[in-house]
Structure 1
Amino acid sequence: MGGNVDKVFDSTAFAARDALAAWAEVTRTTVMPTTFRLVDVEVFSGWFKAMPLGPVQLSGMAYSSFCSHRTPKLIRVSDPETLQIALVRSGPHVIEQNRRRAPGRPGELLVFDSSRPFDSYADGEALLIQFPRELLPLRADHLAPLIASPLPGDKGLGRLLADFLVRLAEDGADYTPQDTARLGAVGLDLATAFLAHHTDRERDVPPSCRQRALYLRITSFVQHRLGDPTLAASDIAAAHHISVRSLHRLFQQHGTSIRTWIRGQRLERCRRDLADPLKRHVPIQAVAARWGFPRPADFTRAFRAHYGTTPSDYRNRTHPCGGTEPGTPGRDEPGTPGQGPGAQSQGAGGGDGRSCSSRA
């Protein structure tokens, strides 16, 4: 996380005896007040980075093992009245809240509430998205069954939310302040759709939010299938239980068509591979086939129309010292006029059982 991300804590900047107290102060001001107690270690080590997204915040953090406690007294002193969804990246995590105990494993999502006392144990790394509860169109009693219940982050809306959080954390340096405000709204829409799905309260979500979440689900679905040249609008619509007409209307609302959007995504994946020095010796034909262009001539025409240059010229300019592509004499593209028959490109080739209920 960088760029629009504030690196607010690094334990290496503090004396060993002061690191845990400094961590507690940082999390008090950026997340919520809690108390901490080290477990099985004598010195705390970790880091914390925050990415403000309007009223939403994404935080990335890593830590050595500790127990944390949020008591009724701390809630009375300061309550941001936020809901948090944590994506466990590594290590064991356990949270006890609302009379429920949830061990979270890597890849799972944990939901907790700043307005309720909790005990937790954590050791590893996590991403945390937090937002004011008042921004959710879901009632607290409907959300209650999700508190301290591990939810899957590897399928459906859970995977979509998890992928969004990871991508946002990794690409933070590339976003402008205007981008982050929009991304905060996207994150809130995804979190809302995710929570509504698991509470069976989709009907409580405003139509505009449902439409934005549906668009994100569809684009994620397609991005995982760009390499399938037979992918059709009818397949995409059927997978999301909507009509083909509704699918076209959804993309028209975003100023494009489903066909144009898919082609643009495929071309961008190809461009990235052609610019990747580690893929310098992968034949252009294989790059094209990997991303859904089985016919080399079609790929060359589409790439030239989109980027104003041929794939091989683009690759050679990106890697000027790399020579020409293996198996391709000169710059002619596979399948384009002027290429002799002998110049064809090569073929495509858990919880650990700990409890922190006893307060320090």
Structure 2
Amino acid sequence: MLPETLFRSEDVPAAERFECFSELMGRTHAPLQLLSDHREDFRASQRLLTLGDVSVWPTTFQPVCFRRTPKLIRQSDPEGVHISLPLRGTLRVTSREHEAAYDPSHLCVLDTSQPVDVRGGDLSRPHTGVGVEVPKALLSVPPNEISKLTTLQLSAKEGYGALIAKLLTQLAADSSSYKPTDGPRLGLIMTDLLSALFSQALDADNSLTPETRRRSLVLRIQAFIQQHLHDPQLTGTYGWAEAGGGTYNTWGSATLVNHPANCGRDWAGQLQYYDATRPSWGWHPLALVLRGQTRTVSLDFKYVLDVRFRVCNIFDGKDDGCGRVQ
């Protein structure tokens, strides 16, 4: 399994639990001031997973405020980016230029170099979530752009955000299927996905290295197929290879089935794609399946920079709702 350190407040005397958790947060993230009405008998747990230079920490804690002050920043700054995915409860973030609430449908981004207050937990209800710590130097995003990300609410339900959320929830649920040697690989996947998400949010895709862009595309194609493997309407395989000049070739196939029981007489399903090499095409039809039909379509693309897919309902020849993997 992955290298893991476990903290449970019940293993510590009640009078020492809050200070132990405060020190733990200082080592995991950065020096913080913690405030809580529950400090006399504070309850919390944390699993710290080491993924090379990246760390992931599923946690549950009683209501608390994490405060990163200018003084603490001057004393110690690990030059990192923190990402939080709430699993149960809401995070409320307050900074000089931003105030927002983050529920399980959004990712929260913090910069260790910026002052901030983060409140987790509601009244007496504990907060459960997953945190990620990544050195800024590992991200393919200009350092002066990082602070802009802290004012955004990035979706955890679509695109790169959904891939990140899926990986984090999987690690939080069970990491026993991974070997210790998988840690650095998972860390690389995480930094690639975060770099792609951040660059997309900042509209700075040109800052991505060709290697990061290629790996991110492969993850999107894989997720597009895996997200539908439980549904007999779409199955498939895929593959890729470098084609030179920062481009690559993909291959594989997807089989679409339009079951009569799931589709009205005048409705059809359509697999569409967007090729960033040919943006003027927009979303282009790849395969159409009418009621009761089955069709297998090629996923072969040559010398491309980026390919995106979506499945759409078609009514009267027009799109009527689409599900997209970005």
TM-score by length of structure 2 reads: 0.69
Q: Match of 1:136?
A: 139
Residues 190-339 of structure 1 aligned to structure 2 (within 5 Å): 190-227=193-230, 231=234, 249-250=240-241, 258-259=252-253
Residues 46 and 231 of structure 1: is their aligned pair in 2 closer, same or farther, counting only changes over 3 Å? Answer: same
Alpha carbons 2:15, 2:40 under 8 Å: kept = no
Superposition deviation, residue 111 in structure 1: 0.2
Alpha carbons 1:39, 1:66 under 8 Å: kept = yes
Q: Which amino acid aligns with 1:166?
A: T
User: How many residue pairs align between the two structures?
Assistant: 248
Cα separation, 1, equivalents of 2:145 and 2:49: 29
Superposition deviation, residue 250 in structure 1: 4.5
Cα separation, 2, equivalents of 1:79 and 1:67: 19
Alpha carbons 1:98, 1:147 under 8 Å: kept = no
Superposition deviation, residue 170 in structure 1: 2.6
Q: Match of 1:86?
A: 84
Superposition deviation, residue 78 in structure 1: 1.5
Alpha carbons 1:215, 1:250 under 8 Å: kept = no
Q: Match of 1:306?
A: none
Cα separation, 2, equivalents of 1:98 and 1:141: 17
Superposition deviation, residue 75 in structure 1: 1.2
**Which runs of no fewer than 5 residues in structure 1 stay unpaired?**
237-246, 264-294, 296-360
Cα separation, 2, equivalents of 1:129 and 1:31: 9
Cα separation, 1, equivalents of 2:235 and 2:182: 31
CA offsets per residue over residues 124-164 of structure 1, 9 Å max, x none?
01111111101112113323222143221011111111101
TM-score by length of structure 1 reads: 0.63
Q: Match of 2:188?
A: 185
Superposition deviation, residue 73 in structure 1: 1.5
CA offsets per residue over residues 177-208 of structure 1, 9 Å max, x none?
21111111001101111111111111110111
Q: Which amino acid aligns with 1:113?
A: D
Q: Which amino acid aligns with 1:205?
A: L
Q: Match of 2:49?
A: 51
Q: Which amino acid aligns with 1:159?
A: A
Cα separation, 2, equivalents of 1:132 and 1:216: 22
Matched-pair identity in %: 29
Superposition deviation, residue 249 in structure 1: 3.6
Residues 213 and 36 of structure 1: is their aligned pair in 2 closer, same or farther, counting only changes over 3 Å? Answer: same
Residues 163-182 of structure 1 aligned to structure 2 (within 5 Å): 163-182=166-185
Cα separation, 2, equivalents of 1:184 and 1:139: 20
Q: Match of 2:148?
A: 145
2:137 counterpart of 1:127: no
Cα separation, 2, equivalents of 1:188 and 1:212: 11
Q: From the two aligned structures, give the one with the greater helix fraction.
A: 1
Q: 1:157 aligns with which of 146, 155, 160?
A: 160
Q: Match of 1:99?
A: 97
Residues 30 and 230 of structure 1: is their aligned pair in 2 closer, same or farther, counting only changes over 3 Å? Answer: closer
Alpha carbons 1:39, 1:67 under 8 Å: kept = no
Cα separation, 2, equivalents of 1:248 and 1:174: 24
Q: 1:28 aligns with which of 26, 43, 54?
A: 26
Aligned to 1:106, the other structure's residue is in SS state coil
Q: CA RMSD in A?
A: 2.9
Q: Which amino acid aligns with 1:38?
A: S
Alpha carbons 1:95, 1:118 under 8 Å: kept = yes
CA offsets per residue over residues 82-103 of structure 1, 9 Å max, x none?
0011111111211123521121
